[in-house]
Chains A and B, each alone.
Chain A
């Protein structure tokens, strides 16, 4: 077993599965430019992730490496986590979590409705004395759409990379607590709309806490 990092275009799928209960959920689907590649012989032969195109042609199938958590109360290992980076392929439409031939969960690519993402000027709600949390404004007109989620990232002088403060939101509603940036007077904020397969930066701004 070996772990490598590869760069390219990937779809990061995060799912949970419970073989005993015969249940599972695909919780997060997001584009990624780095993939963790694990050469393992520990994949669960009963559980796989598949990708199909719009005509239900199989584009990708991989037995899943299911992580079973430590420190369960009974010492049992029923609930498992799947983290998988799938190479991006044209025509990807549906991701399925399959257990023993049965589809436990699926994620369908949606065509984002352009009118649902009308973005105003990004800003903070007014600063109030003794209130440290500020809402992001300018995003109020965005309408929730199935299969579309939002990631919000922050960059500061101290942290050079974009850091996630929210991922998988149905609507980009978030409050920024300036206590988390004690030495900063300004912060860069980026709002990413994603179908899971494609990202679109719908707002980006340099905002002041003052």
Chain B
């Protein structure tokens, strides 16, 4: 006889684990990249993920764990439920490092933007519960106290250039603008992108030559001068995108300079197109995002870390103009510093939430695949955004 699901739960389904207490290895709040020391700035309004890491080593059975956190600040006090349930299996216990590198291995909570207001933010783990059994005691530090910092906007105007090869006209598709903007919002140290975009006829034709990018820079500079004279914020960066015509014409991206001081008048440009299942380790429908972020970061003063190293024989690789880059192989972090990347994803673009392990992903200023902002670049961009925000006041 089948069980009536509207009556009492089937007791046969409940197998008590006997666990009355769970230990916590740590709690982490991440917005783009973070370490367990929280040495990366938490910025105002930017979506954040709180991750609770449970000590799995002493658990001798298989359990599913859920819980509840509470955040409080000057904005109030609110409870948050997790977006997942953690399965802990005694046959495959995960240590802290493994949990940090895998989204589903930790208990994850999304903080609402109102929790991330400038000032003190406290995250408290209030409850842990074994699914099907009940609440258990929590052993370990259940509170995280952080300071949320103000972050100025990133001001950018993106110009799509239309061009011809004499027979056919090519225009950057809307999807590339969308991917670029989304990447900046997800990865950069701000939740405020002052964005505008337009498509104009370029001053060049395909096929491209050595000075095409310089012509694009000149076009951008002339547009910028006209527009700031007409009232556009002079702190706005101008970035040009050029369609790769489905791989036929590739305009190698360039920034006009790498300014040592805040200089929003430095323009840059780059190609856009589909990565066709692999360019730069990218498997979605646009490489405009990380490619554009690289060139844009140059305009915020970021140099090349030198990965992969430049080979004069093949003339491939990257100059090591940033002698201070701290991580090996252009990775997102050194092992000692333990930064892990986090991409909150974008439902509108079918981009899932992801954890970005430090050895598998590389800083956006390298020429290596799977690019994201390391803590080093993230903090430097935040500092430059603040400096530029103070310009012309």
Complex CA gap A151/B223 in Å reads 9
A195: Cβ under 8 A from any B Cβ: no
Known: A69-B254, A75-B319. A153 touches B225 (CB 8 A): no
Known: A14-B221, A38-B263, A164-B226. A71 touches B198 (CB 8 A): no
Known: A27-B222, A34-B234, A69-B214. A166 touches B252 (CB 8 A): no
Would you call B265 and A36 a contact (CB within 8 A)? yes
A67: Cβ under 8 A from any B Cβ: yes
Complex CA gap A59/B143 in Å reads 68
Q: How many residues of A contact B (CB 8 A)?
A: 49
Would you call A180 and B199 a contact (CB within 8 A)? yes
Would you call A163 and B222 a contact (CB within 8 A)? no
Segment touching B, from A77-85, A99-107, A123-131: A77-85
What sequence of 0s and 1s flags, for each residue 24-63 of chain A, a beta carbon within 8 Å of any chain B beta carbon? 0001101111101010000000000000000000000000
Tally the A-B contacts, defined by beta carbons under 8 Å: 139
Known: A3-B391, A75-B319. A16 touches B214 (CB 8 A): yes
Q: How many residues of B contact A (CB 8 A)?
A: 52
A34 smallest CB distance to B (angstroms)? 5
Known: A2-B261, A69-B217, A75-B310. A81 touches B256 (CB 8 A): yes
Q: Which of B214, B226, B258 has the most CB of A within 10 A?
A: B226
Would you call B217 and A70 a contact (CB within 8 A)? no
Would you call B225 and A32 a contact (CB within 8 A)? yes
Chain A residue contacts of B256, Cβ below 8 A: 67, 69, 81
Chain B residue contacts of A27, Cβ below 8 A: 203, 215, 218-219, 222
Q: Which of A12, A67, A166 has the most CB of B within 10 A?
A: A67
Q: 10 closest Cβ contacts across the A-B interface?
A: A28-B222, A67-B257, A161-B231, A12-B225, A162-B230, A69-B254, A75-B319, A33-B229, A27-B218, A67-B256
Interface residues of A (CB under 8 A from B): 1-5, 12, 14-16, 18, 27-28, 30-34, 36, 38, 67-75, 79-81, 83, 85, 151, 153, 159-168, 174, 177, 179-180
Interface residues of B (CB under 8 A from A): 174, 196, 198-201, 203, 210-211, 213-215, 217-219, 221-223, 225-232, 234, 252-258, 260-263, 265-267, 294-295, 298, 303-304, 310, 315, 318-319, 391-392
28 contacts across the A-B interface (CB closer than 8 A): A1-B261, A5-B228, A14-B218, A15-B218, A16-B218, A27-B218, A34-B228, A34-B234, A67-B256, A69-B213, A69-B256, A70-B258, A70-B303, A71-B255, A71-B295, A75-B318, A75-B319, A79-B210, A81-B218, A81-B257, A83-B221, A151-B226, A153-B226, A161-B227, A161-B231, A162-B227, A162-B230, A167-B226
